[in-house]
Homo-oligomer: A and B are copies of this chain.
Amino acid sequence: MHTETPFKTHFNAEQAGLESLNIKSSNITFVSVSDMLALINQYGVEQLMLGMVEYLEADFKRWLDFDKSPRFAAHSAEGVIELMPVADHQQFSFKYVNGHPKNTKIGLQTVTAFGVLSDVASGYPLMLSEMTILTALRTAATSAMMAKYLAPKQSKTLAMIGCGAQSEFQILAFKAILGVTHVRLYDIEPNATKKCFNNLQSYSKENDLNIEICHSSEEVIKEADIITTCTADKRNATILKSDMVGEGVHINAIGGDCPGKTELDAALLNRSDVFVEYEPQTRIEGDIQQLPSDSKVTEMYQVILGEKSGRTHDAQLTIFDGVGFALEDYSALRFIFELIKQNKEAQQIELLASPEDPRNLFGLTQTHSTPSA
């Protein structure tokens, strides 16, 4: 754990890197699902998340440099489509992401996503990337990065409540970044628990990670230092009641992430120190939507900067009420863009009109073109 990452691209705000780009081109870099999987094959999930944590911490430390806003959400009967923009003076990013819990019944993902990284000075997009997989990586990297500041020292046991699409990524992040050695799994659907267990079976043997299947929320949290709740129901549920949870635990609550969707007992929130990404958004979407709008919370950038305390004593009960914030996507996209720039054969798509005289857009329509398909 805490190993050095193999990436040459440690963060340097001054070199954050558009100097080598030829933005006159009509092409932008495209990272398809296959390209993302190829990066995972090349570096490994754990190494990618370790590298991403460096970018996340560097960007959270620059928190005040960013233009932030709660995400835009278009709700419908079946789910939600969201746009998550953020920008500093150099780069702009946004992610498109949906959340449709019933999708799995027709063979589709609950969550799909893609994102764009842009150059602020020209307004030109630089990269379009798939983010269904990248979101799973960045969500897990974010959870583990926050836990570095909030979880009990030398946490060894992670309880995983909810074994859906995010679960294996979460487990690998806590293994790689926190060094947990024991993982306990529980999902209300036994098949999900089994899927997660099977996916990690050979990994756990090779890496001395002890993984155990449990059959209730009460059982799964036994002796856990860290409890991750990551369930998918779009309603106010109570995955964890207050009287189930003892002292000295860190709860990584990432499934309560839209209005009307919560996971924790309000009494449990009231007993705990609650940490959030961006308070205005978490008030709308997080588990704290159950609490009065002036309940005490701490924004994590202040903890990461050392301005406020994370965990202060062993018996403290901490909750990271994570909803997923645009800055995390910015960091993830910036990281992937740096990696993909090293690949001279990165895919390009012709997204931008590039007339010789920029004021003569109409001139383009006068030349004969054939579809590029």
Please list the residues of chain A having a beta carbon within 8 angstroms of any beta carbon in chain B.
23-24, 26, 30, 32-35, 37-38, 40-41, 45, 67, 69, 72, 74, 76-81, 83, 85, 87, 89, 92, 94, 96, 98-100, 103-104, 106-110, 112, 114, 116, 118, 120-125, 128, 130, 132-133, 136, 164-169, 192, 195-196, 199, 343, 345-347, 349-355, 357-373
Would you list 28 pairs from A and B whose C-beta atoms are within 8 A, ordered by A residue? A23-B108, A24-B107, A32-B349, A32-B372, A34-B372, A38-B371, A40-B369, A41-B369, A81-B92, A81-B120, A83-B85, A98-B118, A99-B123, A104-B359, A108-B358, A110-B359, A112-B352, A114-B352, A130-B350, A133-B353, A136-B362, A195-B357, A199-B362, A199-B366, A345-B371, A347-B372, A347-B373, A349-B349
Given A33-B364, A100-B122, A343-B371, 12 more A-B residue pairs with CB atoms under 8 Å apart are A23-B108, A32-B351, A34-B371, A74-B92, A76-B87, A78-B123, A98-B123, A98-B124, A99-B123, A112-B123, A130-B350, A169-B362
Cα A123 to Cα B73 in complex, Å, equals 12
Given A78-B121, A100-B122, A359-B165, A114-B351 contact (CB < 8 Å):
yes
A83 lies within 8 A of B83 (CB): yes
A351 lies within 8 A of B130 (CB): yes
Shortest beta-carbon distance from A306 to chain B in Å: 29
A358 lies within 8 A of B109 (CB): yes
Shortest beta-carbon distance from A225 to chain B in Å: 23
Shortest beta-carbon distance from A96 to chain B in Å: 7
Residues of B within 8 A of A35 (CB): 371-373
Residues of B within 8 A of A373 (CB): 35, 343, 345-347
Given A87-B74, A124-B108, A81-B118 contact (CB < 8 Å):
yes
Residues of B within 8 A of A368 (CB): 41
A362 lies within 8 A of B165 (CB): yes
A74 lies within 8 A of B85 (CB): yes
A358 lies within 8 A of B130 (CB): no
Interface centre among A37, A359, A364 (most CB of B within 10 A): A359
Shortest beta-carbon distance from A296 to chain B in Å: 30
Cβ-closest 9 pairs across A and B: A98-B123, A37-B369, A168-B362, A132-B353, A347-B373, A165-B361, A32-B350, A34-B372, A38-B371
Shortest beta-carbon distance from A294 to chain B in Å: 27
| Contact with A360, one of B24, B199, B343 (Cβ below 8 angstroms) | B199
Cα A353 to Cα B137 in complex, Å, equals 14
Residues of B within 8 A of A72 (CB): 69, 72, 83, 85
For residue A110, which residue of chain B has the nearest CB? Answer: B358
Cα A363 to Cα B168 in complex, Å, equals 9
Shortest beta-carbon distance from A366 to chain B in Å: 7
Cα A34 to Cα B370 in complex, Å, equals 7
A358 lies within 8 A of B76 (CB): no
